[in-house]
Chain A
Amino acid sequence: MPHDGHDHDHTEPPSDIELRVKSLESLLVEKGLVDPATLDALVDRYEHHVGPQNGRKVVARAWTDPDYRQWLQDDASAAIGDFGFKGRQGEHMVCVENGPKVHNLVVCTLCSCYPWTVLGLPPVWYKSAPYRSRAVADPRGVLAEFGTTLDPDVDVRVWDSTSEMRYLVIPERPAGTDGWTAEQLEPLVTRNSMIGVEKARTPEELKGAAE
């Protein structure tokens, strides 16, 4: 940025909102309530290390290992923890499985509770008022907007997340993947399919995406 004609004996203060955060942070650090290194580690973790790649592993294993799939049904937090993906705040995980006659959709109508340990940070639309209200009032309309159409006899179930209960959708395993290993299946599992707004990719879609 050129600073021509700019006063060089001072530094331009940041915006009001940046100053608010900076002030709060410096007060909390002084009181020993937070540690700057912890804050940096938290940001780094959610920006770079936690994301749908975690959930993908869970789903692919559920598709290929019936015992694991049962474990997910019985105690999802423990089964997911088997990969080392653990919630930091003691929230319970629940896995809901899609099938030929059941489709699950996850929302948080209150704010933005989301299964962070397996999906990372939520996309902007998940946090938006239209999604939060319409997912409950008109789930099929929401699904259609994501290009997902279901037969009329499919039961659509909407799960409202809370600070204590977080849901992960296990999408249906796509046809044409018999004999595939978990590793081969992982790329078929998208974030949106684990929120329930879309289905998992088909092998054809995967091929198309790679080209």
Chain B
Amino acid sequence: MTALKQEDGPAFCEPWQAQAFALANALIDKGVFTADEWANTLGAEIKRAQAAGDPDTGETYYNHWLAALERLCAEKGLALGDEVSDRAEEWRNAYLATPHGQPVALK
């Protein structure tokens, strides 16, 4: 039996979790998608991760959150999977081309 009662960690363990949290809520606030669409997509991503063997003990919660966000953005045509992966490559290259200590920006 997994122990439920545990010490509370911080609200977000890493900054990207806070960013992903804020992005989804900003899009809901703007009416880009509804709270109901969001809850259903997040629920579906959690189920999918569980089926794929994720222990789903809460630590991976924001991974599911991000997967749901990417899926809804793709479904709505806001940011397609290819666009996101191309952009990620551009960012990666921008980091690699930026001398250490200087701000990283896309060209």
Binding site for B on A (CB under 8 A): 3, 6-14, 16-28, 31, 33-35, 38-40, 42-43, 46-47, 88-91, 110-113, 120-121, 123-131, 134, 142, 145-147, 162-164, 197
CB B96 to nearest CB in A, in angstroms, measures 5
Cross-chain pair count, CB within 8 angstroms: 184
- Taking a contact as CB atoms under 8 Å apart, the answer to whether A125 and B6 are in contact is yes
Q: Besides A8-B100, A10-B95, 6 other CB < 8 A contacts?
A: A11-B98, A28-B73, A39-B23, A125-B58, A128-B56, A145-B3
The 0/1 profile, CB within 8 Å of A marked 1, for residues 37-53 of chain B is 01110110010001000
Instruction: Determine the distance from Cα of A35 to Cα of B27 in the docked complex, in whole angstroms.
Output: 10
- Give the size of the chain B interface in residues (CB under 8 angstroms): 67
Q: Give 5 A-B contacts (CB < 8 Å), ordered by A residue.
A: A10-B97, A21-B20, A24-B69, A27-B83, A125-B4
Once bound together, how far apart are the Cα atoms of A120 and B12, in whole Å? 12
Q: Name the residue on B nearest A113 (C-beta).
A: B39
Contact between B78 and A47 (Cβ–Cβ < 8 Å)?
Answer: no
What separation, in Å, do the CA atoms of A60 and B43 have in the docked complex?
34
Contacts of B56 in A (CB 8 A): 128-129
